[in-house]
Structure 1
């Protein structure tokens, strides 16, 4: 994947997170505050916990940091896959956000 292809896919991923946060806030009482600065989005939950998603351009990876730990993802041609296992980005983001919000959330 070229740098340009990575940035196109990664920017689409970040835009999808932002849009889905807005939808979740409209549909539920989750009250997720999302702030984007460059290639990083910080999701802040009502009790103060955060999830940070940021781009690692030189590695062509997207990193997700949550209370449960850090996860690294690379695009495999169809989805963002965990570099250390079979996990998919939006599944993990959904699981981590659900745990931190205290209610079932879906980012896919």
Structure 2
């Protein structure tokens, strides 16, 4: 994957996270604050816990930090998969967001 291909796919991922937050806030009582600074998105829940997603451009990875731990993802041509086999990005994000917020939240592309 070239640097430009990585940046294109990573930008799509970050936009999908932001759009999911907007949809969740519009369609439910959940309050998920999404703040973006360059290649980093910080999700803050009503209980003040956070999930941080950031780009690691030199490695062509997306990293996610949640209460459950830190995860590294690489694009496999179809989806962002955990580098240690823990699964797909949006599945893990949804699981961690639900765990941290105490509300059923679904993130997707």
Aligned length: 108
CA distance in 1: counterparts of 2:37 and 2:49, whole angstroms: 18
Could you tell me which runs of 5 or more consecutive residues in structure 1 were left unpaired when the two chains were aligned: none
Secondary structure of the 1:35 match is strand
Which residue is equivalent to 1:34?
34
Which residue is equivalent to 2:84?
84
Q: Give the drift of 1:101.
A: 1.1
Could you tell me which runs of 5 or more consecutive residues in structure 2 were left unpaired when the two chains were aligned: none
RMSD: 0.7
The TM-score, its normalising length taken from structure 1, stands at: 0.98
Provide closer, same or farther for how the CA distance between residues 86 and 66 of structure 1 changes in structure 2, counting only shifts above 3 A.
closer
CA distance in 1: counterparts of 2:7 and 2:48, whole angstroms: 30
Which residue is equivalent to 2:69?
69
Provide closer, same or farther for how the CA distance between residues 96 and 56 of structure 1 changes in structure 2, counting only shifts above 3 A.
same
Deviations 1:32-84 (A, max 9, x none): 01000000000000011000000000000000000111000000010000000
- Whether 1:51 aligns to 2:59 is no
CA distance in 1: counterparts of 2:38 and 2:25, whole angstroms: 22
CA distance in 1: counterparts of 2:4 and 2:83, whole angstroms: 21
The TM-score, its normalising length taken from structure 2, stands at: 0.97
Q: Taking CA–CA contacts closer than 8 Å with sequence separation of 6 or more, which of the two structures ends up with the larger relative contact order?
A: 2
CA distance in 2: counterparts of 1:70 and 1:29, whole angstroms: 28
Q: Which runs of 4+ in 1 moved over 4 A?
A: none
CA distance in 1: counterparts of 2:100 and 2:107, whole angstroms: 14
